Structure 1
Amino acid sequence: MTASPRLPLRVRIRDTFSDSVLRALTVATLIGTVGRGVTLTIVVLYLSLIAGLPAGQVALVYTIGSAIGIGASYLGGHLADSLSARRLLVASVAVAGLALASVALVTEFWMAVVTESLISIALGMNGSVRSAIVARAFSPETRVTSRAVLRTVTNIGITVGTGVGAVALALGSAEAYRAILVAGGLAYAASALLLLRLPARVDAQKPEAADAEADAAPVEPGRSPWRDPRYLLFSALAGVFAIQFVVLNVGIPLWVAHDTVAPEWIVSIMFVVNTVLVIALQVPLSRGTHDLRRAGDVTAVAGILMAFGCVLYGASAGTDLVATVVLLIAASVLHALSEVLSQGGAWGLSFELADQRRAGSYQGVFSMTFAVASMIGPLVITWTAIQLGFAGWLILGAMFLVAAFGVTIIARRAARAQEFSARP
């Protein structure tokens, strides 16, 4: 039997975006992440250089925001099971954009805390509500692909926005910083208008009122994720693996600057490598991870790649310049591949292990563990790689490996249970 021919790229793109929900989410995500990329580039420097906040206060602002974002991530998903997910998404995007723009007005510590808290609440709710919409609006075969498309677009948008934000850095004036912040925030808020086009099917289905003359059985509300030990353990392990993002954003710049002979600009190249590989590979390598076994297998591969990447990161200290650069670039490639595979596996499992009657609450729990990883990740990396050097990198590699194989075990057991229940 001959294999069916692979469709041309143009046809595959057309088929992917034939769905109105994905079209609306994609265009809104592109516009919004361009605006988000603009602000990501300059917010910290604005608070430090223009608003004049000490470094310790800036760090505290982000710590408070991260802590608040944890609760907001679950709250958004929970509310998406009882309220209109479309309206929640529109509101959270609009609030986040306006709050981002209002950073340009910050001149004192308390103002920074208020704006960052609003941003964290809105972005935390935004992420889990968006995931709940994907869980409801698409079939199991297309959910992960849709998430992969949105993540690819997110990387493209943030990359473009980062370039725009560099204009403010080049000009260096307070007026330039404020103008770019306002423009980026308003662009993010404006993307909410496109989300108004989302259809009603993205909302949770409301139980139909029982016919007064019919003896209808009550509608089951679905299982709470807090009473689902398997999902909680999976989410916790996925959250541990999510510390890989903090390794890239926090650990690598510190490691390169203080523990290697590589020039600081190599970090920019490593970020470019990561972005290009994620944009190019996230969609194709995420296909099929709605299958529990495949999701578990790709997560195991991701763990192995990340562990080897940590070994190479650690080995880059104490070597000459050429060897250091080669090791860092090789590690960043392994890291990017691990990121792509682990995300595909985690998305598939986050959808398939959940009780679909409470998709929002389950996605809220899943998103919450990533917020926890963002908050504790810097401490974990400091206690390991930054303080212990190569030994610390080995500890990190072992941590990622254990987390990945833990997820794989959960996936395989779930697959066996699914196959057993499907037997006649």
Structure 2
Amino acid sequence: MPDSPAPPTLASRILAPFADPVLGTLVIATLISRVGRGIFLTVTVLYFTFIIGLPAHEVALILALASAAGVVSSFAGGWLADRVSARRLLVWLSAADGVGLIVYVFAGDFASALVIAVCVGAIEQAANATRAAIIARAFTGERRVGARAVLRTVTNLSIAVGSGIGALALVIGTAEAYRAMIVGAGVAYLLAVTQLVRLPGSVDAPRAALAAPVTTATGSTDAVASARAERIALRAHSPWRDRRYLLLTALSAVFGMQFGVAEVGVPLWIAQDTDAPEVLVAIALILNTVVVVLFQVPVSRGTHDLRVAGRASAIAAWLMAGACVVYALASGVPAWAAITIILVATLAHSFAEVLSQAGGWGLSFELADPVRAGAYQGMFSMGFSLGAMCAPIVVAATALEHGLLGWVALGAIFLASGLGTWAIARSAARGPGPAASTSAPTDTGSVSVVA
């Protein structure tokens, strides 16, 4: 009997993404740019507050309007990625993003900070949608979800490194230190552009016509009529006409508010309603990062299959609902108990995050019309941006305002959206059509959360 092949070594698994020219390029660019993102996220709010001198309500308004700009630009980025070179579009957007970050050092009042933040927020989300369109075209099936998982793992690692670098500005505390860090963040984005230019032209939308050329009575091609027919054919493939995909996007946007729970709800809950020390906020963030880095890739395997993606979404729904209830239990108990409860809830929340992301990626790719990959990914990214914009309001109006009952209501929202996503996946897997046929059931077993 022949010897079975040896399992891949850790080094070979780490280097595997670099073997693919598209994924390798995206990984290196993400490593560089997301370090800059981590730096920027660490210093932004305090830069607005302590260096520019803006009050808290103006800072909140700036962040909200920047998120709102991202909602619109997400779809625009995907829409453009179907009509122009996605590679060139990503290069220009990433370069503009880097320049936009550097321009922050010239902000001196509310108006200038608002204009810069809105422009940067719009550019950032348009670039994210374009990147998703590139992944949708460059890979198929399981490799698409795997690429998203690898890039998300790299993103978390890089942001963690960038956050540590950005913390130096907080320690030094001078305006010069803050501005130097912001310039460094922008430079990181610009350095990443030097890698993005290496993307091959194959990531662009195919130029094959969707409609037959219109000819005149003499047999020549009518360019104006042919272009009009092409536009009509493109509109027929629009995600705005796909009710199933619209519903998937809406449900994913609702579940995406779980990021707002981690970024807004849990820190304020710990500080205001529990006896746990505030340093627990950082510990919870580190625990979440560890879970994402270790489990996002293995959990994502097989979620190109609609049934597996739906099952991942259902498990995520129950875990997130449970995490909300457990978070609530940390109030009114001794500090040691509150710490234990928060960490248990964070663990459940973190696995809900990686499972929901894996399931959402699989469904967003497999249920999309490949003719309009950019527009569909732009639509899905737009939903995520909308969820991120609404999350602080929803979390504050439920959990932070009403305590236990609010946390239960928030958990019910996540449960309903996650199970709704599972229902869409289950229906699509049973029904005819491209979505069902593009995801052959290669693995319909239970979703694994171990490597």
Confirm or deny that 1:381 pairs with 2:395. yes
Residue identity in the other structure for 1:280: L
Show the counterpart of 2:326. 312
Show the counterpart of 1:355. 369
Correspondent of 2:265 among 232, 237, 251: 251
Deviation sequence 1:219-268 (CA, Å, 0-9, x none): 75361100000000011001100000000000011100110011111010
Show the counterpart of 1:129. 130
In structure 2, the residue corresponding to 1:17 is in which secondary structure?
A: helix
Residue identity in the other structure for 1:303: A
Deviation at 1:118, TM superposition (A): 1.3
Deviation sequence 1:196-216 (CA, Å, 0-9, x none): 00000100001269699999x
Measure the CA separation in 2 of the matches of 1:14 and 1:389.
46
Aligned counterparts, 1:183-222, within 5 A: 183-207=184-208, 221=234
Aligned counterparts, 1:14-25, within 5 A: 14-25=15-26
Aligned counterparts, 1:99-138, within 5 A: 99-138=100-139
Show the counterpart of 1:399. 413
Measure the CA separation in 2 of the matches of 1:418 and 1:44.
49
Residue identity in the other structure for 1:247: V
Measure the CA separation in 2 of the matches of 1:311 and 1:359.
38
Confirm or deny that 1:139 pairs with 2:153. no
Deviation at 1:184, TM superposition (A): 1.1
Confirm or deny that 1:414 pairs with 2:415. no
Aligned counterparts, 1:291-370, within 5 A: 291-370=305-384
Structure 1 unaligned spans of 5+:
none
Measure the CA separation in 1 of the matches of 2:278 and 2:15.
41
For the Cα contact (< 8 Å) 2:18–2:25, is it kept in 1? Answer: no
Show the counterpart of 1:162. 163
Deviation at 1:419, TM superposition (A): 8.5
In structure 2, the residue corresponding to 1:163 is in which secondary structure?
A: helix
In structure 2, the residue corresponding to 1:319 is in which secondary structure?
A: coil
Deviation at 1:8, TM superposition (A): 2.9
Measure the CA separation in 2 of the matches of 1:283 and 1:418.
29
For the Cα contact (< 8 Å) 2:26–2:151, is it kept in 1? Answer: yes
Deviation sequence 1:109-147 (CA, Å, 0-9, x none): 111011101111110101100000000001112000000
Deviation at 1:17, TM superposition (A): 2.5
Residue identity in the other structure for 1:157: S
Residue identity in the other structure for 1:276: V
Show the counterpart of 1:149. 150
Deviation at 1:307, TM superposition (A): 0.9
Deviation at 1:418, TM superposition (A): 4.1
Measure the CA separation in 1 of the matches of 2:188 and 2:199.
19
Deviation sequence 1:176-208 (CA, Å, 0-9, x none): 111111111111122112100000010000126
Show the counterpart of 1:288. 302
Identity %: 48
Measure the CA separation in 2 of the matches of 1:214 and 1:283.
53
Deviation at 1:101, TM superposition (A): 1.3
Show the counterpart of 1:87. 88
Correspondent of 1:264 among 278, 283, 287: 278
Deviation at 1:6, TM superposition (A): 3.8
Residue identity in the other structure for 1:391: L
In structure 1, the residue corresponding to 2:19 is in which secondary structure?
A: coil
Deviation at 1:328, TM superposition (A): 0.1
Aligned residues: 422
Deviation at 1:63, TM superposition (A): 1.3
Deviation sequence 1:150-170 (CA, Å, 0-9, x none): 000000110000000011000
Measure the CA separation in 1 of the matches of 2:368 and 2:52.
44
Correspondent of 1:277 among 287, 291, 294: 291
Confirm or deny that 1:9 pairs with 2:10. yes
In structure 1, the residue corresponding to 2:431 is in which secondary structure?
A: helix
Deviation at 1:62, TM superposition (A): 1.0
Deviation at 1:4, TM superposition (A): 7.0
Measure the CA separation in 2 of the matches of 1:367 and 1:17.
26
Deviation sequence 1:349-385 (CA, Å, 0-9, x none): 0000000100100001100011111111111011100
In structure 2, the residue corresponding to 1:369 is in which secondary structure?
A: helix
For the Cα contact (< 8 Å) 2:249–2:379, is it kept in 1? Answer: yes
Residue identity in the other structure for 2:120: I
Show the counterpart of 2:444. none
Confirm or deny that 1:229 pairs with 2:243. yes
Deviation at 1:15, TM superposition (A): 3.6
In structure 2, the residue corresponding to 1:235 is in which secondary structure?
A: helix
Measure the CA separation in 2 of the matches of 1:211 and 1:389.
64
Give the TM-score normalised by the residue count of structure 1: 0.95
RMSD: 2.2
In structure 1, the residue corresponding to 2:278 is in which secondary structure?
A: coil
Measure the CA separation in 2 of the matches of 1:211 and 1:114.
45
Measure the CA separation in 1 of the matches of 2:253 and 2:30.
23
Confirm or deny that 1:174 pairs with 2:175. yes
Deviation at 1:9, TM superposition (A): 3.1
